[in-house]
Amino acid sequence: MLLGTAAAALVAVWLATRRRAKELSEWAVGSRSFGAAMVFVLFAGENFTTFTLLGGAGWAYDKGVAAAYTWCYTPLACVVSYWYLPKIWRYAKKQRAVSQSDYLRLRYDSKALGVLVTLVGVVAMTPYLALQLKGLAIIAHEASHQQIPIAAGVIAGAALVAVYSVLGGLRGAALTSIVKDIAVVIVVLGVGVWLPYHLYGGPGPITRIVAEQHPEHMVLGPERGYGPAWFITTVLLCGLSAHMWPHLFASFFSARSEASLRRTLAAAPLYTVALATTLTIGFAALVTLAPLGKGNEDLAFLRLVAAAAPDPVLGFAGAAGLLTALVPGSVLATTIATSLTRDGYANLRPDASEPELARAAKWLLPIVVAAAAVFALSGGQTIVGLLLAGYSIVAQALPAVVGSVLPRNPFTLEGVVAGLVVGTVMATAAPFVGIDWRHCKAFLPEQLAEVNVGLVALMVNLLVAGLVSLWTRKPRPAAAG
């Protein structure tokens, strides 16, 4: 079923887009021609990823109710973005911007800022793309009853994403999202609702069993590092930065009008209903399966389906899971390649035509996917761990983006660059050098020791941007008297 789904997706995207995508604006943002329904399914496609099927349930299995953060921040993100994203769309359409870095380069009139934002975006999106490849490999491994090795799954998945992305661009991903979203809703709601009743008579009995056998899973426990302060700051960080992902800018720029974009943002929180079932799925796996072992939490969802459902159900879940990796993986790869083309290749070839830029982006894309595959093969983090690391990095673009839509931008170009550099370095270095506020409990209050490091990096970013802006802002000329 996995091979059939992959082949069908490739054939469908080729048939649907073979006469298009000759220019970069068509390949990258669908010529800004998508109505509210298409933008909605594309946006949902970026939210219903392998994280939805694997990461959420895996975290509920391992961390308990702390996994509820995953369906708390989307409504906050949509409320905030409903105000500023249409303004960004309006400017981007007028100036023909096709990426986040493109928009900020034009808004601040700085090629250097465009290049810097591209680099930051690549640093953040590469782990996110690796997340999709890792999830795809896990799905292939489990749906084949462990016959397909993880490494082979990553390599095959990378090849599939590269071919699919080059053929279809953003329009291909949007068209496949329609089928993918229906399949994911069926799987998540079906497994999340049917299995609890099939195994234990409903989510209530499962919750009571977890409370009896694993009481630590039912509380936000500071001793485990995931207390209330961590939960609140993580929801705040993800809510503020959820729409700072560069690949989401491509989705938003594809809208036909501001009204289409606003309708998408108003309806998007409905998708969190499906995410809520992942908590029950994780709990069901916890009390049903033998211990998975440290580092294998992401297997919880598919192992539960394999143990409690017929093989055709596992095959359907695997096919839906393949699409949850293919669609967002394609948009991520397309966005990275587009940004590198606009702020790299285009600077080297300023006279390049739109078709030439599109060809350059398509040549860059397989290299991007290969780099993400190497990251996926060498990384040991869980899916949620990779995602949270990415959120910490993309959040650093928030001051530059939000400042650009204010009536009077409080930040100068120098301030934005300084804050972005400091915040990104801090957020990027944290996972690698072991920065963890929990190590500071000896001299910090326990609540402060749990604060999400990414939010701290954003606060430092804002402080640096504000101070440098005060120092570099040119005084207004005195009024003629």
What are the structural domain ranges in the chain?
A: 1-12+34-472
Lookup: tokens for 32: 């800004």
Predicted confidence pLDDT, tens digits, the chain (481 residues): 555 555 555 555 555 555 454 544 544 444 455 555 555 555 655 555 666 677 788 888 888 888 888 888 888 888 888 888 899 989 988 888 877 888 898 999 998 898 898 888 888 888 788 878 888 888 888 777 778 888 888 888 888 888 877 776 656 565 666 666 677 777 777 777 888 888 888 888 988 999 999 998 898 876 666 788 889 999 999 889 888 888 778 777 777 788 878 888 888 787 777 777 888 888 998 998 888 877 778 788 888 888 887 878 877 777 777 777 777 777 788 878 877 887 676 666 777 776 777 777 778 888 888 888 888 887 555 566 667 778 888 899 999 999 999 989 999 999 999 999 999 988 887 665 555 555 555 555 666 667 888 898 999 999 999 999 999 987 655 444 4
CA dist., res. 71 & res. 273, Å (int): 8
Q: What is the Cα 227 distance to its own chain's centre?
A: 24
| HSE, side-chain direction, 13 A CA sphere, residue 417 | 14
CA dist., res. 101 & res. 77, Å (int): 20
pTM: 0.79
Contacts of 192 (CB under 8 A, 6+ apart): 274, 277, 278, 280, 281
Q: Token pair 């329009």 is at which residue?
A: 171
Neighbours of 28 (CB within 10 A): 29
Lookup: tokens for 286: 């916890």
Residue 473: the pLDDT is 84
CATH superfamily of 1-12+34-472: Sodium/glucose cotransporter (1.20.1730.10)
CA dist., res. 219 & res. 98, Å (int): 44
CA dist., res. 273 & res. 73, Å (int): 13
DSSP state of 478: P
